[in-house]
Amino acid sequence: MSDSLPGFADTVVIGAGTAGAAIAGVLAASCDQSLLLLEAGPDYGSFEDGRWPADLTDARAIPTSHDWGYSSTAQSGRRVIKFDRARVVGGCSSHNGCAAIWGSRLDYDHWAELGNPGWSTEDLLALFRAGSERLRVRTPPRDEITPYQLAWLEAAPRAGIPLVADLNNLDENLGMALSPANVANGIRWNAAFAYLDPVRDRNHLSIAGGVLADRLLIRGARVEAVRAIRNGQEVTIKTGRVVLAAGTYGSPAILIRSGVGPEAEVRALGVEHVLDLPAWGETCTTIPWSDWSMPALRSSKQQWRNSQPATGCPRNRPSPKRDLHDAAAVSICTSTRWAGERRSSGRRRGGPGRWRWRA
């Protein structure tokens, strides 16, 4: 990508994260209109270029080098919670846990029942299969996991969590198993490798890293341009279509800076109100995340790693044998709908045995 940004693009995709990379990749492959992909973080090029930092490609641990640095306000007056989000092409797929789990039929069919065409399980199945293929998803055999992951797996039935054969069985609503993961020969196979690499040579696609999208310029109900900042300079890119894919925190921020949101909140920020969007900022939820710090376990893990034979894998190519990081190898599947129904029906037992839901 050259240093200058085009003054016009038929489509501008804002955010080259998991969704933005996939959308831009599919669009670039299927039409020849000009397409500009804007990303606040760096673009390290294709996987084959070999310029990706090793921590981002090494699937064994979750890196923090490209984080936006979001956090909560102080909870209960003191506790601040970090909200990890990656600022790099590939977005959170470039630093996440690589657990590639399809979810549950109950949830998707429920969304379709609520009046969202295209979201039923039957509609989505072909996309799940295609996405899994692109992202090189596979389920590791038992002999690839660490003794610690094996210990979790063996402990699950004793804690009342059933073992299941396949986490991507959409009819399985509770259970633990080895997790399908988008890890290829130890590499975190992110959305940029999966969707952008095959189209990087298309002339109608420009990928611009280091560009912060500030706001959308809207006339009536139509976006006419994107105002962005590159190297401290404001740039305006006219466009026929914008795809806003800046993530859970990035997209609402761009919307409200553009005057889109509940009128009172927009005006309170001193921004001209352009379009009403009453639900703005109302439904943000995230998964519970528990970070256990166990020094004894950490040092025993390190000893185990050190005892493994050196593989001589070059930078960017960790050992194929040690393919999985500590989180992705074993996962629990639950359907949110199934769990919700259990809670609301007053049944607190999540499965056989002693295990209980903690909502």
Ligand X SMILES: Cc1cc2nc3c(=O)[nH]c(=O)nc-3n(C[C@H](O)[C@H](O)[C@H](O)COP(=O)(O)OP(=O)(O)OC[C@H]3O[C@@H](n4cnc5c(N)ncnc54)[C@H](O)[C@@H]3O)c2cc1C
| Interacting residue ranges for ligand X, rule: CB under 6 A | 14-20, 38-41, 62, 84-87, 91-93, 96-99, 212-213, 245-247, 250, 254, 328
Instruction: Select 157 or 210, whichever has its Cβ closest to ligand X.
Output: 210
Tell me how far, at minimum, the Cβ of 176 lies from ligand X, in Å. Answer: 15
Report the C-alpha gap between 227 and 207 in whole angstroms: 16
Residue type, position 187, single letter: I
Alpha-helical segments (H) within the chain:
18-30, 54-57, 105-113, 121-134, 147-158, 191, 247-257, 263-268, 295-307, 336-344
Instruction: Select 253 or 353, whichever has its Cβ closest to ligand X.
Output: 253
Report the C-alpha gap between 140 and 297 in whole angstroms: 23
Instruction: Select 212 or 313, whichever has its Cβ closest to ligand X.
Output: 212
Report the C-alpha gap between 146 and 209 in whole angstroms: 37
Tell me how far, at minimum, the Cβ of 205 lies from ligand X, in Å. Answer: 16
Instruction: Select 69 or 352, whichever has its Cβ closest to ligand X.
Output: 69
Residue type, position 125, single letter: L
Tell me how far, at minimum, the Cβ of 346 lies from ligand X, in Å. Answer: 31
Instruction: Select 106 or 213, whichever has its Cβ closest to ligand X.
Output: 213
Which residue's Cβ lies closest to ligand X?
17
Neighbours of 142 (CB within 10 A): 10
Tell me how far, at minimum, the Cβ of 83 lies from ligand X, in Å. Answer: 8
Q: Which residues pair with 205 in a beta bridge?
A: 35
Residue 356 burial by Cβ neighbours in a 10 Å radius (0-12, 13-18, 19+): exposed
Tell me how far, at minimum, the Cβ of 257 lies from ligand X, in Å. Answer: 9
Neighbours of 57 (CB within 10 A): 22
Instruction: Select 285 or 306, whichever has its Cβ closest to ligand X.
Output: 285
Tell me how far, at minimum, the Cβ of 232 lies from ligand X, in Å. Answer: 15
Question: Could you identify the residue written with the tokens 């690499």?
Answer: 197
The 3-state DSSP class for residue 216 equals strand
DSSP state of 270: T
The 3-state DSSP class for residue 90 equals coil
Instruction: Select 188 or 342, whichever has its Cβ closest to ligand X.
Output: 188
Tell me how far, at minimum, the Cβ of 77 lies from ligand X, in Å. Answer: 26
